[in-house]
Amino acid sequence: MANSFGWNAGSYVADVFKPPHFSTSIPLAPARYVRTSVFEAVTGYSVKALEEKIRTGVWIEGHEYRRAPDGHILIDLEGYAKWVEGQRRAV
């Protein structure tokens, strides 16, 4: 179904965005660090579950997450992948 911009959202390709009014594609790369709400949408882990992993020390700052200069918690997708695979570095 076409949206108000005239392009079909169903044909959106995840790694290249090419609106019809541009003649070039814009390659997109995933961010290494994402806010907790984005992480929740991608993985299914709730924000509350993330906060509990941080509070109990299951996740370690600098490994699975970082705090941005503005204080927001950012999940490190590379650190998360290592945690899932059991490859986290020793503290």
Domain formed by 9-84, architecture: Orthogonal Bundle (1.10)
Domains of the chain: which residue ranges? 9-84
- Mean pLDDT (10-residue bins), the chain, 91 residues: 47 51 71 95 95 96 97 96 83 54
pTM greater than the 0.85 cutoff: no
Whose CA is closest to 11, among 20, 31, 26? 20
**Whole-number pLDDT of residue 90:** 53
- Identify the pLDDT of residue 16: 53
- Do the Cβ atoms of 88 and 79 come closer than 8 Å? yes
